[in-house]
């Protein structure tokens, strides 16, 4: 069995607001993809990643398969920056990258393993930033 994930969000990852927050320079980074649009990513919260791993270890159907575990929905750096800017009154700086935007499909893990991610990453981050 092979398991695949986007970036795994933890409490430590929230401290720099998923890479968007630059406290030293007092700015918020908005990553722009190769096409000039806000970067889209599809990461996963650690609890959902653990759920996926445990399900894949418990199900005989997982043997010889590969699975992708991701959050319920992808997000853009525009959405991320909106959340961070509500907490920090810093300017948003667009940073051009050579990255591609990407999303993941967990439907195979859903249908075979019963994987249902629970954590909306942006809502979770907003709650963490307001603690």
Question: Residue 95 maps to which CATH number?
Answer: 3.40.50.720
For the record, the structure tokens of 50 come out as 């653990």
Per the CB < 8 A criterion, the answer to whether 52 and 8 are in contact is: no
Judged on CB neighbours under 10 Å (0-12, 13-18, 19+), 58 is exposed
What residues of the chain score a pLDDT lower than 50?
none
Can you give the residue range of the structural domain that contains 13?
Answer: 2-129
Supply the pLDDT for residue 74: 97
Per the CB < 8 A criterion, the answer to whether 38 and 32 are in contact is: yes
Cβ atoms within 10 Å, residue 45? 23
Supply the pLDDT for residue 24: 94
Supply the pLDDT for residue 131: 87
The angle subtended at Cα 54 by Cα 50 and Cα 57, nearest 5°, is 140
Residue 82, sorted as left (phi over 0), alpha (psi -120 to 50) or beta, turns out to be alpha
Total domain count for the chain?
Answer: 1
Supply the pLDDT for residue 84: 97
Supply the pLDDT for residue 120: 96
pTM for the complete prediction? Answer: 0.91
As beta bridge partners, residue 30 has: 94
Supply the pLDDT for residue 6: 87
């Amino acid at each position: 069995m092979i398991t695949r994930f986007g970036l795994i969000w933890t409490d430590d990852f929230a401290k720099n607001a998923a890479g968007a927050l630059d406290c030293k320079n007092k700015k918020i980074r908005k990553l722009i993809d190769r096409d000039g649009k806000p970067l889209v990513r599809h990461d996963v919260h650690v609890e959902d990643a653990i759920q996926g791993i445990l399900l894949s270890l418990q199900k005989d159907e997982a043997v010889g398969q590969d699975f992708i575990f991701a959050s319920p929905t992808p997000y853009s750096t525009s959405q991320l920056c909106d959340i961070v800017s509500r907490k920090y009154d810093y300017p948003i700086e667009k940073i051009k990258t050579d990255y591609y935007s990407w999303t993941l499909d967990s439907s195979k893990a859903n249908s075979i393993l019963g994987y249902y991610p629970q954590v909306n990453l942006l809502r979770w981050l907003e709650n963490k930033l307001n603690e």
